[in-house]
Structure 1
Amino acid sequence: MTSRDFVPALIIVDVQEDFCPPKGSLAVPNGRSIAEPINSLLAEPKFALRIATQDWHPANHISFANNHNPPKQPFTDSIKISNPLNPSEEPYTTRLWPVHCVQDTAGAALIPELDTSNIDVVVKKGQDSRVEMYSAFYDPFRQPTVSDSGLADTLKERGITHVYVVGLAYDYCVKATAVDAAKEGFVVYVVQDGTKAVGGNEAWEECTKSLEADGVKVVRMEDEEVQRLR
């Protein structure tokens, strides 16, 4: 294997205050604890690119339960979203959330435990109020896509071959980002030490099976896929 066969990038998904205890409005259990393994990965010398993402929502974002009339409840209620550029196509149902990661608020900040000095690029996502955007690449719509972060082009311009994904939350934004990275043709690993799930153990098992079915491998820090970074 030549060096050009392995050009890895690290994507750190949404390790933000609103997704972490004790004060986050959408805190993932033990979410803050992933900073240490993520910082270890950030220090690995072979990463050609280290990217952090931030949910960066406008206050009127469609995923916020309190933006709907009649009032809806976060976590339990859902809505149907259609492509705003092609309303007859691709409708799907999505879960509603409490207000979180509003642009330029303290809750949208990356947590201070994260070693941001080693981060090369920050990608802001979820900025279009009309669509949900779990993935760091683009929203779920394809006919046409409404919001594209440009992340796929960034990775390809740098010659990236392998993508390692960590962050919050495993069963939502980490999953969507990893699946889209695989669709873009990268070899993709989710490092489980560096992520936590909203839905606990049951969600973890279901998500792992779904990721593997989509060509994403879930690994641990001690596995050979991570050891090769050293």
Structure 2
Amino acid sequence: MKCLLLVDIQVGFCTGGNLAVPGGEEIVPIANRLIASGGYDLIVASQDWHPPDHGSFASQHPGAKPFEMGVLGGKPQMLWPDHCVQGTPDAEFHADLDVSAIDHIQRKGLNRNVDSYSAFRDNDQSALTGLDAYLSAKGVTRLDICGLATDYCVMASAIDARSMLGGVTIRFIADASRGIDPAGVAAACSAMHAAGIEIVSAADCIEG
């Protein structure tokens, strides 16, 4: 059972969004080609879905500015611009993404008291989203992961998948992902490789 996990391909992370990843929208046609290739038995998409008062937002910390380090739940926290607020256009999937092919949507970031980069669990690793159980129940044997942003939510999702899904091959599709910072992307790729995650291209996936 081969599964494609599309991480947070949302308006908020593309050009014009509240937390745009440089070139984020460039991956949409690549994701659509992967979907259309017929190489996957299951298509899953994660969706940042924050309450308007989420504690990772700089707006919730008097005097703080986006991209400063703050504290959330007693732990260091990057403070973000308000983004992907539940029910707003910023939280929707990119308009050109083929959402009709998505079998399961995993929302994350609902708890205002902890951030959630990974599609599998909150950053404090105490609350699971249930995605691991869902994929295990479906009998997934290979999970290909791509999306936004490489150095945050994609990396966290891939590393959690590696640790939580025993016996499943985990692959990161590099050219179907974009990151916030080039140095961060390089570090993320190194971390994923060290965790035993294969780094592949969309062409590798489409060709089998």
Question: How high is the TM-score relative to the length of structure 2?
Answer: 0.94
One-letter amino acid of the structure 2 residue matched with residue 12 of structure 1:
L
Residue 103 of structure 1 corresponds to 86
- After TM superposition, the runs of 4+ consecutive aligned structure 1 residues lying more than 6 A away are none
Deviation, structure 1 residue 105: 0.2
Any idea what SS the aligned residue of 1:42 has?
helix
Please tell me the residue identity of whatever aligns with 1:107: D
The structure that has the greater radius of gyration is 1
Counterpart in the other structure of 1:191:
173
> Are positions 1:130 and 2:113 aligned together?
yes
Q: Are 1:72 and 2:64 an aligned pair?
A: yes
Give the superposition deviation at 1:141. 2.3
Measured in 1, the distance between the counterparts of 2:65 and 2:124 equals 25
Partner residue of 2:43?
50
Q: Please give the alpha-carbon distance, in whole angstroms, between the structure 1 residues aligned to 2:207 and 2:28.
A: 19
**1:108-123 mapped onto 2 (5 Å cutoff):** 108-123=91-106
> What is the rounded CA distance, in whole Å, between the counterparts of 2:66 and 2:94 in structure 1?
23
Partner of 1:41: 34
One-letter amino acid matched to 2:157: T
Residue 204 (structure 2) pairs with residue 213 (structure 1): no
TM-score scaled to structure 1, two decimals?
A: 0.86
Q: Relative to total residues, which structure has the larger helix share, 1 or 2?
A: 2
SS at match of 2:4: strand
8 Å Cα contact 2:58-2:80 kept in structure 1: yes
- What stretches of structure 1 of length at least 5 have no aligned partner? 1-6, 83-90
Q: Give me the whole-angstrom Cα distance separating, in 1, the residues matched to 2:119 and 2:89.
A: 21
Count of aligned positions? 206
- Specify the alignment match of 1:15 in structure 2: 9
1-structure distance, mates of 2:54, 2:206: 37
Deviations 1:47-79 (A, max 9, x none): 12101111000011011001013x21111x112
Deviation at 1:226, TM superposition (A): 4.7
Q: Distance in 1 between matches of 2:188 and 2:155?
A: 7
CA RMSD of aligned residues (A): 1.3
Pick from 6, 22, 26: which aligns with 1:29?
Answer: 22
Q: Percent of pairs identical after alignment?
A: 36
Could you tell me how far apart the structure 1 residues matched to 2:151 and 2:185 are?
A: 7
Q: Which runs of 5+ in 2 are unaligned?
A: none
